[in-house]
Structure 1
Amino acid sequence: MPGTQETQLYCLADRTYFETPARLPDEESRYRLDTDPPPAGWRREAVGLWTSLVPEHAEPAEQGWKIHVSTVPGEAEDTLRDTARICVRHGVPFKFLRSGRALSVMADKYMNRSGAGKFIAVYPPDETVFLTLAGELSQALAGRSGPYVLSDLRIGDAPVYTRYGAFVPRWCTDADGRRVLALRDPSGTLVPDERGVVFRTPAWVEVPEALRPHLAARAAARDDTFPYTVTEALQFSNAGGIYLAVDRETGRRVVLREARPHCGLDGAGDDAVTRLHREHRALTTLAGLDCVPEAYGVRTVWEHHFLIEEHIEGNTLLEEIVARFSLVRGAGSADELAPYVAWTDSVVGELTRALEEIHARGLRFGDLHPSNVIVRPDGRIALVDFEYATALDDEDTPLAGAQGLQAPPGTPGAEADAYALWATWLAMLMPVMEMAGLERAKALTLERWARRRYGLPAGAGPRRPALLRGLDASRRREAEVAALFEGPDVDWAGVRARLLAGIHAGATPGRTDRLFPGGPDLFANGGTDLAHGAAGVLYALHRVGAPVPEEWTDWLARAALRRDPAGAGGLFDGLPGTAVVLTLLGRTEQGRELWDRAASAAPPTAADLLTGRAGIALAALRMARAGGTDLDGKLIDEALRTARDLDRLVRGEAVEGMRLPESAGLLRGLSGAALLDLELHTLTGETWLVRAARTALGREAGHIVGMPDGTLQVKHGQRHLLYLDQGSSGVALVSQAYEARHRAPALSALIPGVRKGCVMEFVREPGLFTGRTGLVAAAAQLGPGPRTGDGVLASVRNLPWHLVADGDRLLVPGRTLRRFSADLASGAAGVLLGLHFLSGGEGGAGQDPAGLLELLTLG
């Protein structure tokens, strides 16, 4: 699953959907080497934001010493021209970021720092050519500027760097079971190609003698006189780190804010060093204010700049919201909510005074959001991160801010801070303000709900910003969405029709990389898989009785056959799940061909349903039915062998090539193994499977803890989870299925506490695997009586927090709420399938008696 920095990369090319960076609109800033004809005898290839030039008849080396060249925007064209000239003369393949915008994007503050500075990558065929190229490039690019490539060794004073690594994509599994890029060791075994932020070489690789002076220069550059000892890294970004440290001379705790030259570019093109010195000037101007940390100075160590400032005891406002938020802690009445409301009022009062004091000294803050506010133990607050604190009348420096909390570009300083204050107040009451970044009028919907739910008087909270007044059309669309969920019952048919319209509108059958918009994971799997790709969307359409155009099924079949079978994946992320969907759609031969291709791959190390062995075995049972009434005994035997291995693993035996899940849940835990056991027992009658299912569920139950509000949730680190993919709802669903066949009082005792959590009033995301739709569907399955009884309908009525109208279509935000998605895991297809279950098929193809587990696992 992509982290925050990787997710940011998929938000660049489109403001509506997660999109591959390759579609970044950068035509006007393409480099000439990307647009001019390639040199004679060379071919050009494009992958993502990168363009490669490769000699037509050369066979690229598999691995070796690669060269990276970094640059700054003003020198990029010249640096690319000079590097290309040397590479072409020596016949050495290379790749480069294709445009000025691509270069700026990859240097952005929120990009992954392990790739920072890499503008050109050169792939010499052997060590001799490598040393020749390194010397020529260092000489040709002497005096040029560029970010330091953290993973590499710098060669001389030019922006030329090197590391030993893979040249072509080969894959292996690392110690955590993840599929990662690989090197081949001297024995021929594929091992992980470690790509961190520290220069290192594989154990069998000797550093060439010519590089040793550069290693010595790197070591000599370290400043041992820096009088601070870092005790904790608080944050890393492309711009640098933030560290908690101790002054060795005074014993005082300080915060070190690091800025790396030429890195962390923002919308104005300013780098991290520029912003750090701007912050120092602001802190100096604001010195003496209680709401501002004291600045102790700026120091340069090696090439990195550090702002040393006061460490303020306390938690961030975001941490305080997570710890205190009353709507996830069982508070129901106005009296129960009152303490939380009083606390938000006190924080807003502190923030208001802080901003007034800053404005009084002629500055705006420019970056107010809960992560930039420290709440001291006594309730006083301090603001941190003054990189965008400039003069109130500054029109050149862009505003910063979190999605949904930021005023529109061009908003004057004091008014921009006022907007952020109002939005921060609302985020404390409704922590889903990312939705206002997708549809600004959504903030008004959330405000109306919050005022009603918390019982706030008309004048409560900061003044609503005037810039929200001109949103009449958006407000009408918001009212239309709300109307679908109001009245005696939900307008199931209307919601279904609009979700289907949204899915159809997002379809792009002319593309080869994806058919429907999905989460960022979509592009790693060729756009075909069940969780995030076309297979999941087509399955949902098929299951709810909606037409599935043949063109779309054709697309899925073609795209799946293009996927490398060596990385076949599992039920939800790979070819096995796609094979089942094609079979369900009537493409039996294509489904079986795909299944056979997947069977040739090495099995995954995961044991779970999402990506692992339990999911593949369950898919085998689905494929076994493909022949109609005559079950495929070979596939059933394969599933039985997997079930035996899983049972051994659950009971503590070592099973080669397989590892236990770290947590519990239907998709990421052992509940999938228990479900497999139950289905196999129904098919074969083998009694050991009942015991195996019970053992797996018992192990799952060991992850579940009771919460103060009476709910039962999976504890995973500091988090408590109810979700279907990882959480107690999935465990309870399989426990219920077990209880229906075999008595297990301890397992059935879980169900009431889990169900209570599933109808929790506040859920941050709307989707099926990790959101409201999945939880409320689980509550309906677990509860007695009708599917929409006892809190279920009340939870469904809160879906309009997230749904956005676009004409006659409904769009659903995916994971992180940054962009919209149509996928099964987090987007519109999952919401469609979940609401189909809740309504019993109403508004579609008639009543659907299927159980939730059957719907979720292609049964």
Structure 2
Amino acid sequence: MPGLHQNQLYSLADPTYYETPARLPDEGTRFALDRRAALPGWDKGRSGLWTSLRPEGAPVTEQGWKIHVSTVPEEAAATLRETVRICLRHGVPVKFLRSRQALALMSDKYMARGSSGKFITVYPPDEPAFLRLVAELSAALDGRRGPYILSDLRIGDAPVYVRYGSFTDRWCRAADGSTVPALRAPDGRLVPDERDVVFRVPPWVTVPPELGPHLAARAAARDDSFPYVVERALQFSNAGGIYLARHRESGERVVLREARPHCGLDSAGDDAVTRLHREHRALRRLAGLECVPRVHGVRTVWEHHFLVEEHVEGRTLFEEIVARYALVRGERSDAELAAYRAWVDEVTDRLASALAAVHARGLRFGDLHPANIVLRPDGRLVLIDFEYATELDDPSPFAGAFGMQAPPGTAGAEADAYALWSTWLHMLMPLTEMAGHDRRKALVLERWARDRYRLGPDAGPPRPAALTPAAGRTDPVAGLLTGTQPDWGRLRTLLTAGIHAAATPERLDRLFPGGPDGFASGGVCAAHGAAGVLHALRHAGAEVPPEWVRWLADASLRRPPERAGGLLDGLPGAAAVLAALGEGDAAVELLERTSAGPPPPGADLATGRAGRALAALRVTRATGGPGACPPPEVFRTASDLARLARGETVPGLTAPPSAGLLRGLSGAALLHLELYELTGERHLLDSARDILHREAAHCVRMPGGSVQVKDGRRHLLYLDQGSGGFALVARAYLDHREDPLLSGLLPGVRQGCVLEFVREPGLFTGRAGLTATAHALDTAPADGPARTAPAPDVLASVRNLTWHLVQRDDRLLVPGAGLRRFSADLATGSAGLLLALHTLAASPVTPDSPTGPRALLSLLTLG
């Protein structure tokens, strides 16, 4: 699953869809060297944000010592000219960021710390060339400025850094099963090319003696006079870390807020150090206020600046909302909602008083959201993170969480008031990101909250003037979902239109916009790429243009075998979809390529061996007919998975830590069920039972009665990981054999699938998948009569999609994971919702209808 950092990074290039940073619209800020034609004897290439220059016919060096150069925006053009001039004279390949905008992106607050600051990369062909270039570049660039590259060793006082690493694209499996860049060890094995925030070299590499003084300088930079001892890190970003520390002598606990020079640039171009000193000035000006942490000063250690402030005991408002929010647990009694409402009122009143106190000192806060508010154990409230606190009349941009920001140009006090109202709404309905896509969604959420919590018209802070609904500007989505039945046909038409409008068959990296993870698969995978979208369109009866099928086949065949992936993240899933679309030859070839690479270490269905085996079954049936014999490796995989579930050690295979259809072992149970139905061998059914009982051990009954999978501190219902997907497989097993343990869990799972509040709308981890699961369990219940139409509570859940869906012209858009951008993919976006609604709208129900558990399982596993 993509994290917050990845979602933010992939939100920079496009305001509508998650997009690779390489698509940054930066034509107006390109460097002259990017715009010019290559010199005679040199090849010029482009890849992502990078432009490369390489001598014609030069042999490719696989790995070695590479040189990085960093810079600041105002020195970038001159640093680039000087560095490339030296590389051209030495005939050494070089690549550089193509534009000033790309440079700002690589130093952004949300950029990965290990790669941040890299502006130019030089690829010396051997160690002597490396040492010559290091000496010349460090002399030529001495005194220039640039961010410190954490993964590298700095050379002298120049922004020149070095590390040993790979020069070419090679990949291997990391210990956690992910695919990572690789180095070739002396014995020929591919091993991870570690690109962490600490300079290190592979064990077989000897550091040249010429780098010794720079290693010594790095070690000498440690300042033992710093009076604080760090206990643990609270947060990391490219701007620096936030640490809980203790004073060496007094023992007082403090928070250290670190700022790295020239790093963590924001939209105004300010770096972390600029913002840290702004915060220090604001805290001094606000000294004495109960709602502001005490400040102890600023210290500089080596080149990093640290703001030292009071450690405020308590939890952030964000954490409190997660811990207290009633609707996510199904706690719907009037007393429980009244208690939560009273807490919201108390916090809102204290927050309004805190902002009034800050304003009385002539400052705006500028970055109000739940993660910047700490509630002490006694209920008192403290504002933290004053990086954007400026004069009340300061016109400079303010920050704010996505969806909680006032419109540009809003005055300081008014902008804080807007954020106060948004924070109040977020406590009642933690979906305020949707207002970042369409401000009308804030009013949709407010109306729902006032009705659900029985709030009077004067409850809460005054609604901002910017949110006054204009005539004729009501949200049109509600009309699609209200009434006795949702308008299934219109929903299908608008979702399909959105998918078609978003298609980009002219691109090589993706056909449809999806989640950020789709770019790692070349845009072909089932979860976030073209395979899943075409699968959904086919089953929903929508048009699948032949050129889209051709795109999927061509793009899949470009993927290297070592990056084959699994059923949902790679080539096996693409093969299953292509086989169903009539592209049998391409499907068979993809499976052959997959088997040529190393098997994945995971056992799950999404990325591991259970999914690969199911893909082989799908392709075999599509190309050889229903009675075609599965390949022998499918049975070997099933045997290995059964042994793993029994607790045996299977070399090279690891069990998932939790339960679920896609990320647990329920997918392995489904594989055994399908093989049992194909062969009639009872031991396969026994193995399915054993696996499902292992999965059931992860399930717990919640106070409200729902059954969910416990995963650490989380409780999950989803198809991806959770009790929903497990229940579908368990119900399919019960078609063959009674099992009181499994049948006893199903009603609680079904109850959980219609809880009121679901944060995301998607199929794998959202409302679409839960409603489809509830309806599938209704059509084949463990006991009692089957339903022939969606139950009232299922329809009520579907109607709450009004919170998420956005209509633009004649199409519907679906927000993806994190809700920051829209997605058309199967896992999180329009294709998944289209498939789920299709299962609800299909009528009448027959044994072959797509509403039963087996049919839904088939749809989810690309059958």
TM-score (norm 1): 0.98
Instruction: Tell me the amino acid that sits aligned with residue 594 of structure 1.
Output: L
| Structure 2 residue 422 is matched with structure 1 residue 423 | yes
Equivalent position of 2:21 in the other structure? 21
| Superposed CA offset, 1:520-554 (max 9, x none) | 11111111111111111111010011121112112
Equivalent position of 1:852 in the other structure? 856
Equivalent position of 1:788 in the other structure? 790
Q: Is the 8 A contact 1:441 1:471 kept in 2?
A: no
Equivalent position of 2:655 in the other structure? 660
Q: Is the 8 A contact 1:109 1:237 kept in 2?
A: yes
Q: In 2, Cα distance between the equivalents of 1:196 and 1:561?
A: 32
Equivalent position of 1:304 in the other structure? 304
Aligned-pair CA distance for 1:707: 1.6
Q: In 1, Cα distance between the equivalents of 2:743 and 2:88?
A: 70
| Structure 2 residue 501 is matched with structure 1 residue 505 | yes
Equivalent position of 2:375 in the other structure? 375
Equivalent position of 1:564 in the other structure? 560
Q: In 2, Cα distance between the equivalents of 1:849 and 1:139?
A: 70
Equivalent position of 1:219 in the other structure? 219
Aligned-pair CA distance for 1:190: 0.9
Q: In 2, Cα distance between the equivalents of 1:242 and 1:630?
A: 59
Select 1:580's aligned residue among 559, 564, 576: 576
| Superposed CA offset, 1:683-706 (max 9, x none) | 011111111111111111121122
Q: In 1, Cα distance between the equivalents of 2:305 and 2:156?
A: 21
Instruction: Tell me the amino acid that sits aligned with residue 769 of structure 1.
Output: F
| Structure 2 residue 746 is matched with structure 1 residue 747 | no
Equivalent position of 2:820 in the other structure? 818
The 5 Å alignment of 1:717-728 reads 717-728=712-723
Q: In 2, Cα distance between the equivalents of 1:790 and 1:452?
A: 19
Q: Is the 8 A contact 2:850 2:856 kept in 1?
A: no
Equivalent position of 1:440 in the other structure? 439
Aligned-pair CA distance for 1:61: 1.2
Aligned-pair CA distance for 1:648: 1.3
| Structure 2 residue 461 is matched with structure 1 residue 462 | yes
Q: In 1, Cα distance between the equivalents of 2:615 and 2:345?
A: 53
Q: Is the 8 A contact 1:93 1:122 kept in 2?
A: yes
Q: Is the 8 A contact 2:245 2:256 kept in 1?
A: yes
Q: In 2, Cα distance between the equivalents of 1:48 and 1:662?
A: 36
Aligned-pair CA distance for 1:39: 2.1
Aligned-pair CA distance for 1:273: 0.4
Q: Is the 8 A contact 2:579 2:623 kept in 1?
A: no
Select 1:546's aligned residue among 535, 542, 545: 542
Instruction: Tell me the amino acid that sits aligned with residue 514 of structure 2.
Output: G
Equivalent position of 1:336 in the other structure? 336
Q: Is the 8 A contact 2:2 2:817 kept in 1?
A: no
Instruction: Tell me the amino acid that sits aligned with residue 680 of structure 2.
Output: G
Instruction: Tell me the amino acid that sits aligned with residue 460 of structure 2.
Output: G
Q: Which moved more, 1:151-160 or 1:324-333?
A: 324-333
* CA-atom RMSD in angstroms: 1.4
Instruction: Tell me the amino acid that sits aligned with residue 415 of structure 1.
Output: E
The 5 Å alignment of 1:39-118 reads 39-118=39-118
Structure 2 residue matching 1:165: 3-state secondary structure: strand
Q: In 1, Cα distance between the equivalents of 2:688 and 2:253?
A: 53
- Change in Cα spacing, 1:91 to 1:632, as seen in structure 2 (3 Å) is farther
Aligned-pair CA distance for 1:462: 0.5
Q: In 1, Cα distance between the equivalents of 2:739 and 2:124?
A: 64
Q: In 2, Cα distance between the equivalents of 1:348 and 1:112?
A: 35
Instruction: Tell me the amino acid that sits aligned with residue 855 of structure 1.
Output: L
Instruction: Tell me the amino acid that sits aligned with residue 768 of structure 1.
Output: L
Instruction: Tell me the amino acid that sits aligned with residue 680 of structure 1.
Output: L
Q: In 1, Cα distance between the equivalents of 2:314 and 2:531?
A: 47
Q: In 1, Cα distance between the equivalents of 2:32 and 2:470?
A: 43
Equivalent position of 2:693 in the other structure? 698
Q: Is the 8 A contact 2:775 2:851 kept in 1?
A: no
Q: In 2, Cα distance between the equivalents of 1:197 and 1:583?
A: 44
The 5 Å alignment of 1:570-609 reads 570-609=566-605
Instruction: Tell me the amino acid that sits aligned with residue 33 of structure 2.
Output: L
Q: Is the 8 A contact 1:493 1:842 kept in 2?
A: no
Aligned-pair CA distance for 1:808: 1.4
| Superposed CA offset, 1:148-193 (max 9, x none) | 1111111000000111111111111111111111111111111111
Select 1:768's aligned residue among 763, 769, 779: 763
Q: In 2, Cα distance between the equivalents of 1:142 and 1:274?
A: 24
Q: In 2, Cα distance between the equivalents of 1:649 and 1:75?
A: 57
Q: In 2, Cα distance between the equivalents of 1:190 and 1:636?
A: 29
Q: In 2, Cα distance between the equivalents of 1:780 and 1:630?
A: 28
Q: Is the 8 A contact 1:334 1:455 kept in 2?
A: no
The 5 Å alignment of 1:56-455 reads 56-396=56-396, 398-455=397-454
Instruction: Tell me the amino acid that sits aligned with residue 173 of structure 2.
Output: T
Equivalent position of 2:477 in the other structure? 481
Q: In 1, Cα distance between the equivalents of 2:709 and 2:731?
A: 17
Q: In 2, Cα distance between the equivalents of 1:108 and 1:411?
A: 25
Structure 2 residue matching 1:95: 3-state secondary structure: strand
Q: In 1, Cα distance between the equivalents of 2:680 and 2:844?
A: 36
Q: Is the 8 A contact 2:538 2:544 kept in 1?
A: yes
Q: Is the 8 A contact 2:842 2:849 kept in 1?
A: yes
The 5 Å alignment of 1:633-652 reads 633=629, 635-652=630-647
Structure 1 residue matching 2:416: 3-state secondary structure: helix
Q: In 2, Cα distance between the equivalents of 1:257 and 1:529?
A: 40
Q: In 1, Cα distance between the equivalents of 2:265 and 2:835?
A: 42
Instruction: Tell me the amino acid that sits aligned with residue 80 of structure 1.
Output: L
List runs of 5+ in structure 1 lacking aligned partners.
none
Equivalent position of 2:9 in the other structure? 9
| Superposed CA offset, 1:93-125 (max 9, x none) | 111111000111111112111112111111111
Aligned-pair CA distance for 1:849: 5.5
Equivalent position of 1:623 in the other structure? 619
Q: Tell me the number of residue pairs that the alignment of Structure 1 and Structure 2 aligns.
A: 852
Q: Which moved more, 1:330-339 or 1:539-548?
A: 330-339
Aligned-pair CA distance for 1:468: 1.5
Aligned residues with identical type, % of pairs: 66
Q: In 2, Cα distance between the equivalents of 1:401 and 1:90?
A: 48
Aligned-pair CA distance for 1:40: 1.7
Q: In 1, Cα distance between the equivalents of 2:646 and 2:94?
A: 51
Q: In 2, Cα distance between the equivalents of 1:818 and 1:328?
A: 21
Q: Is the 8 A contact 1:442 1:801 kept in 2?
A: yes
| Structure 2 residue 521 is matched with structure 1 residue 525 | yes
Aligned-pair CA distance for 1:593: 2.4
Instruction: Tell me the amino acid that sits aligned with residue 526 of structure 2.
Output: L
Structure 2 residue matching 1:699: 3-state secondary structure: helix
Aligned-pair CA distance for 1:841: 5.7
Equivalent position of 1:673 in the other structure? 668
List runs of 5+ in structure 2 lacking aligned partners.
none
Q: In 2, Cα distance between the equivalents of 1:472 and 1:46?
A: 49
Aligned-pair CA distance for 1:472: 4.3
Aligned-pair CA distance for 1:202: 1.2
TM-score (norm 2): 0.97
Instruction: Tell me the amino acid that sits aligned with residue 856 of structure 2.
Output: L
Instruction: Tell me the amino acid that sits aligned with residue 290 of structure 1.
Output: E
Structure 1 residue matching 2:270: 3-state secondary structure: coil
Aligned-pair CA distance for 1:515: 1.1
Aligned-pair CA distance for 1:83: 0.5
Select 1:756's aligned residue among 751, 755, 758: 751
Aligned-pair CA distance for 1:599: 2.5
Aligned-pair CA distance for 1:305: 0.2
